[in-house]
């Protein structure tokens, strides 16, 4: 089986060198930039990441600057990408690199794996792309490509499937390990596509692909999710005072979106009378409460269904933090869920 996979290495690397996209983090082999891009790309498309990446690198061009930034400013830079624990882990890892490695980026897979927020895939991507270590970087794209080549019907969402693919690829890693890993990922992103028919006519390794030969590309890979999702309804308030300031509050340091700022909100959907009652409980004189829009936000295991309301009040109180809209845009990181109501 390893021999059949070994046959794809040379044509795939050649295809990659001729067709790779000019992405900003591919300029040179700076491990810091590869690291930041890989963390950003874990849940976001490449085209969407480019602007976030440029903003982040401009503000924090190296490990030292990342290790020294305050948390609110860091989360503001990360705003819109979601999964804010990833930004916090970036800073933790940067501090470790500064204190334990003298500011020099670790080079080996084993060292990288020990840093906060860096798993097998990210460690392998950095180690292979930047330092030529022969270790496979197995993400969803790679799992899909290998499943189709080998006509493998194992559930690619299971850890044991990923572990097995890692072991098989480890046996056939070429000297150009970084190029091979990037080629597999690039193929999955641009040719061996999910959710429909892949572009097999443009695939440099289709002659080795069992799914292509047997017309199974739309059946593979097998993905069986077992996660039970929780649904929560929320009423969310954009409260503006007579002084034209907006009410926000800080979330608890533990749980979902820890330490982030949010618009005031309550569980459930309520009548207008109940909403006015809530304003009085918050010691706010609400002139009017106007429905803005419905919105939905999907977290890993929870779906939020939100109704947004605009509230005008003559008073401010000590329950909330009152900020100008300019301060809200520049200084206070709001989770994407609440940004959806402000657009």
d(CA 165, CA 156): 10
Mean pLDDT value across the chain: 93
Q: What confidence category does residue 34 fall into, taking pLDDT thresholds of 50, 70 and 90? A: very high
Mean pLDDT, residues 297-311 taken together: 93
Closest CA to 78 of 335, 285, 329, 313: 335
Q: Is residue 1 predicted with pLDDT exceeding 60?
A: no
The whole-number average pLDDT for the span 202-206 is 96
Q: What is the mean pLDDT of residues 277-284?
A: 93
Q: For residue 26, is pLDDT > 70?
A: yes
Residue 252 lies inside a defined structural domain of this protein? yes
Confidence of residue 225 (pLDDT cuts 50, 70, 90): confident
Cα 199–Cα 200–Cα 202 angle in degrees, nearest 5: 75
Which residues, 6 or more positions from 40, have their beta carbon under 8 angstroms from its beta carbon?
Answer: 49, 52, 53, 56, 81
Summarize the chain as % helix, strand, coil (round to 5).
Answer: 45, 15, 40
Q: What's the half-sphere exposure (Cβ side, CA atoms, 13 Å) at 228?
A: 0
pLDDT at 287: 77
| Closest listed residue to residue 299, CA positions, set 73, 48, 85 | 85
pLDDT at 276: 93
- The 10 Å Cβ neighbour count of residue 310 is 15
Domain that holds residue 91: 2-139+164-189
Give a yes or no: residue 213 inside a domain: no
Q: Are residues 168 and 280 in the same domain?
A: no
Distance between first and last Cα of the chain: 52
On whether both 177 and 245 belong to a single domain, the answer is: no
Average pLDDT over residues 250-258: 88
pLDDT in tens, 74-100: 999 999 898 899 999 999 999 999 999
Residue 168 shares a structural domain with residue 264: no
CATH of the domain at 55: 1.10.340.30
Q: Is residue 260 part of a domain?
A: yes
Asked if residue 234 and residue 185 are part of one domain, the reply reads no
**Kind of pairing between the strands at 246-250 and 261-262:** antiparallel
Q: Is the pLDDT of residue 105 over 90?
A: yes
Report, as an integer, the average pLDDT of 38-53.
91
- Indicate if 38 belongs to the active site: yes
- CA-nearest of 84, 83, 80, 82 to 343 is 80
Residue 177 sits in the same domain as residue 82: yes
* Residue 116 confidence class, pLDDT cut points 50, 70, 90: very high
Of 9-23, 24-38, 159-173, 219-233, where does mean pLDDT reach its minimum? 219-233
User: Taking the CB of residue 103, how many other CB atoms lie within 10 A of it?
Assistant: 13
Does 2 score more than 60 pLDDT?
no
* Domain count of the fold of the chain: 2
Write the burial class of residue 253 (CB in 10 Å: 0-12 exposed, 13-18 middle, 19+ buried).
exposed
Taking the C-alpha atoms of residue 247 and residue 251, their distance in angstroms, rounded to an integer, is 13
Q: What is the mean pLDDT of residues 267-281?
A: 94
pLDDT of residue 259: 86
Cα angle, residue 179 at apex, residues 176 and 182 outer, rounded to 5°:
145
Write the CATH number for 261. Answer: 3.90.79.10
Identify whether 206 is part of a domain.
Answer: no
For residue 201, is it within any domain? no
pLDDT of residue 227: 64
What's the mean pLDDT in 271-278?
A: 93
Asked whether the CA dihedral 152, 204, 44, 121 is positive or negative, the reply is positive
Confidence at 267, pLDDT banded by 50, 70, 90: very high
- Assess if residue 41 is contained within a domain: yes
Number of CB atoms found within 10 A of residue 154's CB:
17
- 155-175 pLDDT, tens digit per residue, is 999 999 999 999 999 999 999
Give the per-residue pLDDT at 300.
81
Which residue is catalytic, options 17, 18, 27, 38? 38
Of 159, 127, 121, 123, nearest to 141 (Cα)? 121
| pLDDT, average across residues 273-284 | 93
Claim: this prediction has a pTM higher than 0.75: yes
297 within domain boundaries: yes
Residue 42 and residue 92 in one domain: yes
**What integer is the mean pLDDT of 287-307?**
92
> Looking at the structure, do residues 175 and 297 belong to the same domain, yes or no?
no
Parallel, antiparallel, or unpaired for β 321-323 and 286-298?
unpaired
8 A C-beta contact, residue 153 and residue 220: yes
pLDDT on residue 3: 58
Same domain, 184 and 235: no
């Amino acid at each position: 089986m390893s021999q059949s996979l070994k046959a794809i290495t040379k044509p795939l690397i050649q295809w990659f060198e001729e067709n790779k996209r000019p992405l900003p983090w591919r300029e040179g082999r700076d491990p810091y930039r590869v690291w930041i891009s890989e963390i950003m790309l874990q849940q976001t498309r490449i085209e969407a990441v480019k602007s976030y990446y440029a903003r982040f690198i401009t503000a924090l061009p190296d490990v030292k600057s990342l290790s020294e930034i305050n948390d609110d400013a860091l989360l503001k830079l990360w705003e819109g990408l979601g999964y804010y624990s990833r930004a916090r882990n970036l800073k933790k890892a940067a501090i470790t690199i500064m204190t334990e490695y003298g500011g020099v980026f670790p080079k080996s897979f084993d060292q990288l794996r020990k840093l906060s927020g860096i798993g097998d895939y990210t460690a392998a991507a950095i180690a292979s792309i930047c330092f030529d270590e022969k270790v496979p970087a197995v993400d969803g794209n790679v799992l899909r490509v290998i499943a189709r080549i080998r006509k493998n019907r194992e559930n690619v969402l299971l850890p044991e499937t990923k572990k097995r693919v890692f072991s098989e690829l480890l046996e056939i890693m070429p000297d150009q390990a970084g190029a091979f890993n990037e080629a597999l990922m690039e193929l999955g992103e641009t040719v061996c596509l999910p959710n429909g028919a892949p572009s097999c006519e443009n695939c440099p390794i289709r002659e080795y692909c069992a799914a292509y030969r047997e017309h199974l590309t739309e059946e593979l890979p097998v993905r069986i999710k077992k996660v039970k999702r929780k649904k929560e309804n929320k009423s969310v308030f954009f409260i503006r005072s007579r002084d034209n300031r907006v009410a926000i509050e800080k979330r608890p340091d533990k749980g979902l979106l820890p330490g982030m700022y949010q618009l005031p909100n309550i569980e459930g959907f309520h009548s207008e009378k109940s909403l006015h009652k809530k304003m009085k409980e918050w010691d706010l004189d609400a002139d009017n409460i106007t429905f803005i829009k419905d919105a939905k936000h999907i977290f890993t295991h929870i779906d939020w269904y939100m109704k947004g309301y605009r509230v005008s009040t003559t008073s401010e109180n000590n329950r909330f933090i009152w900020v100008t809209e300019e301060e809200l845009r520049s200084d206070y990181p709001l989770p994407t869920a609440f940004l959806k109501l402000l657009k």
